[in-house]
Amino acid sequence: KAGVTQTPRYLIKTRGQQVTLSCSPISGHRSVSWYQQTPGQGLQFLFEYFSETQRNKGNFPGRFSGRQFSNSRSEMNVSTLELGDSALYLCASSLVGQPYNSPLHFGNGTRLTVT
């Protein structure tokens, strides 16, 4: 079974621009969650989607948004990029969306650099 696929792998953007990242979950997994990882803040939860609905949201500004399609693929968008948005963005999928009794399967992330 193919793992979680994230595209692109690397991205360089300029302050003020917007960016869209893509995530294809493991086949059959209906929950997709997104995370931001930086050396200073660690791995922080952005939001979780299940059956095209955002069910949970972390403590990030409205510039960070996402959506999920009927085939469970998900995208996240960051508008008006800031230097502090430079990070590794990770996507994870799971069968039913409870992160602890339904283990998360992560992709290898998109490395975003904002200049």
Which residue is it, tokens 């949201």?
57
Radius of gyration of the chain (CA): 13
Q: Which of 18, 27, 43, 69 binds other proteins (CB under 8 A)?
A: 43
Per CB under 8 A, 2 contacts other proteins:
no
Per CB under 8 A, 4 contacts other proteins:
yes
Instruction: Give the other-Cβ count within 10 Å of 54's Cβ.
Output: 13
Q: Which of 52, 96, 103, 113 binds other proteins (CB under 8 A)?
A: 103
Q: From CA 39, how far away is CA 77, in angstroms rounded? A: 21
Binding segment for other proteins (CB under 8 A), chosen from 14-22, 49-57, 63-71, 76-84, is: 49-57
- Token output for 16: 């003020």
Q: Using CB under 8 A, which residues numbered 74 to 93 contact other proteins?
A: 88, 90-92
Q: Which residues contact 20 (CB under 8 A, 6 or more apart)?
A: 75, 76, 77
Q: From CA 102, how far away is CA 112, in angstroms rounded? A: 28
Minimum CB distance to other proteins, residue 60 (Å): 9
**What residues line the site for other proteins (CB under 8 A)?**
4, 33, 35, 42-45, 48, 55-59, 88, 90-92, 97-101, 103-109, 111
